[in-house]
């Protein structure tokens, strides 16, 4: 393959270096483009822009491949735990026994939040969306750890502290929303069991953590743990590039995740399926509305389509299977699963979806599984955030260690008025 791409502008020729990744992905390095030619590139939504090199996650959207540090997502979902996968993402290798024990111990040591922070939960209205609470509370952590302003120091402690505390904050915000007393973490429990205990136990009764749910939760969090340069991870990199502390940086990522076109889609999927059930509308009828662009109704089939996947999202495949297994094991008959499966079947044989290569994404089935686990709908995106945290941290660390790191600062093509005079108030129309 050539080492350079040739660009001709106004009869002048420029050579731009070609960069090739370890899986053969190709890019044209345009770092010097403006210096050499006076041009910038324009790429709305960053459809074709590689913002960084990264050794964390490989994703092939055409073939439906997802690997963390080279290991296929299918293998991790079947054999790993969320804590082990977090270690893999952050440190690049699977941990040995001692490393895993040490990492788990660190997570246990940091599970509590400062007692004063508990009172903050009382300040939110009962109707507060838990994503708003989560992002605010994560940013608030920085006030309790002022040393975190030194972004290049104590990276290990900051990372594990945040990984551990996020699930505590999430569970506390849920308890607040239902008006029940919070449950403190129990450090002899594993990461996922500890979270389920904080979510569902009450002080007045014994509570036994359901091991099937622990397994399902581990798998769900593993599937969400990283997805290379998606909207929230790119937000983490962009925000982090101006060097605020880690908590503030992750808080920005949580906000980006909240939107319905990103992590918020899992909530929207269940709301859509519920609406169909309540109104007796068939999936075919609903798809008719989705396809009807003339009426400008802007309805999308939530949980379908992806910027990168033009094939079945491998995470959705695993989730669909796991959802069926858990529902039948627990004897849960959820009509929303039947509607979802029918919807998928109809959509995948419809020319609109075939032509646009729209397949179920990770959010299409995750909500049904969360629902079976007793997670309320408005907590779905919070669950996504807990899962995505090790990915965000890994990308932040990779960026901080990059000797070529620069503040993220895209350019633009200005399309507003050219220079004109200031008009005094009495002369304006």
Which of 209, 265, 322, 375: binder of ligand ACO (CB under 6 A)? Answer: 265
Separation CA 112–CA 44 (nearest Å): 42
Quote the Cα angle for 68-302-332, to 5°. 80
User: How many residues bind ligand ACO, per CB under 6 A?
Assistant: 19
**At its nearest, how many Å lie between ligand ACO and the CB of residue 391?**
12
Separation CA 252–CA 269 (nearest Å): 24
Please give the DSSP secondary-structure letter assigned to residue 123. Answer: G
Which of 262, 317, 320, 397: binder of ligand ACO (CB under 6 A)? Answer: 262
The answer to whether residue 278 is catalytic is no
Helices (H), ranges, 330-379? 335-348, 351-355, 363-372
Residue of minimal Cβ distance to ligand ACO: 305
- Residue among 197 and 262 whose Cβ is closer to ligand ACO: 262
Where does this chain touch ligand ACO (CB under 6 A) — which range of 105-113, 139-147, 298-306, 417-425?
298-306
The answer to whether residue 363 is catalytic is yes
Burial, 381: exposed, middle or buried (Cβ in 10 Å; 0-12, 13-18, 19+)?
buried
Of residues 302 through 341, those in contact with ligand ACO by CB under 6 A are 302-307
Q: How many helices (H) and strands (E) does the chain have?
A: 18, 6
Where does this chain touch ligand ACO (CB under 6 A) — which range of 17-25, 138-146, 168-176, 296-304?
296-304
Catalytically annotated residue among 197, 306, 313, 395: 306
Of residues 171 through 230, those in contact with ligand ACO by CB under 6 A are none
Pull the structure tokens for residue 415: 């399309």
**At its nearest, how many Å lie between ligand ACO and the CB of residue 102?**
31
- Residue among 48 and 150 whose Cβ is closer to ligand ACO: 48
Q: Coil, helix or strand for 57?
A: strand
Place of tokens 């983490």: 236
In 3D, which of 121, 173, 81 has the Cα closest to residue 382?
173
Site string for ligand ACO, 343-382 (x = CB under 6 A): -------------x-x--xxx-------------------
- Residue among 210 and 342 whose Cβ is closer to ligand ACO: 342
Separation CA 399–CA 253 (nearest Å): 15
Q: Please, which residues bridge with residue 67 across strands?
A: 58, 72
Separation CA 405–CA 397 (nearest Å): 11
Binding site for ligand ACO (CB under 6 A): 45, 261-263, 265, 290, 300-307, 356, 358, 361-363
Active site residues: 306, 363
């Amino acid at each position: 393959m050539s080492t350079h791409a040739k660009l001709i502008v106004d009869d002048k020729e420029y050579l731009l270096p070609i960069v090739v990744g370890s899986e053969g992905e190709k890019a044209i390095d345009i770092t010097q483009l403006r210096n050499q030619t006076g041009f910038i590139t324009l790429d709305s939504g960053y459809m074709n822009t590689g913002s960084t090199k990264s050794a964390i996650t490989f994703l092939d959207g055409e073939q439906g491949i997802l690997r963390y540090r080279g290991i296929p997502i299918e293998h991790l979902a079947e054999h790993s735990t969320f804590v082990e996968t977090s270690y893999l993402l952050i440190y690049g290798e699977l941990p040995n026994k001692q490393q895993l024990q040490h990492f788990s111990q660190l997570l246990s040591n940091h599970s509590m939040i400062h007692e004063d922070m508990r009172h903050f939960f009382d300040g939110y209205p009962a109707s507060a969306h838990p994503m708003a609470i989560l992002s605010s509370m994560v940013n608030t952590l920085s006030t309790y750890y002022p040393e975190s302003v030194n972004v290049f120091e104590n990276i290990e402690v900051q990372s594990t502290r945040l990984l551990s505390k996020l699930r505590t904050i999430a569970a506390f915000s849920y308890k607040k929303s239902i008006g029940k007393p919070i449950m403190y973490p129990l450090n002899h429990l594993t990461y996922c069991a500890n979270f389920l205990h904080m979510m569902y136990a009450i002080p007045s009764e014994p509570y036994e953590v359901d091991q099937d749910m622990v397994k399902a939760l581990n798998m769900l969090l593993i599937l969400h743990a990283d997805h290379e340069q998606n909207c929230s991870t790119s937000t983490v990199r962009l925000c982090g590039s101006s060097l605020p502390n880690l908590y503030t940086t992750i808080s920005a990522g949580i906000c980006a995740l909240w939107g319905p076109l990103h992590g918020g889609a899992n909530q929207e999927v269940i709301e859509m399926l519920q609406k169909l059930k309540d109104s007796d509308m068939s999936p075919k009828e609903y798809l008719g509305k989705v396809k009807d662009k003339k009426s400008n109704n802007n309805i999308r089939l939530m949980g379908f389509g992806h910027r990168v996947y033009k094939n079945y999202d491998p995470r959705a495949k695993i989730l669909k299977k796991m959802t069926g297994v858990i529902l039948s094991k627990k004897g849960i008959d959820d009509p929303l699963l039947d509607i979802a499966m029918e919807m998928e079947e109809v959509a995948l044989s419809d020319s609109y979806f075939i032509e646009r290569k729209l397949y179920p994404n990770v959010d299409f089935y995750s909500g049904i599984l969360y629902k079976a686990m007793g997670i309320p709908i408005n907590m779905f995106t919070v669950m996504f955030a807990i899962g995505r945290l090790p990915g965000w941290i890994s990308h932040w660390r990779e960026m901080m260690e990059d000797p070529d790191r620069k503040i993220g600062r895209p350019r633009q093509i200005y399309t507003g008025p050219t220079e004109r005079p200031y008009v005094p108030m009495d002369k304006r129309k």
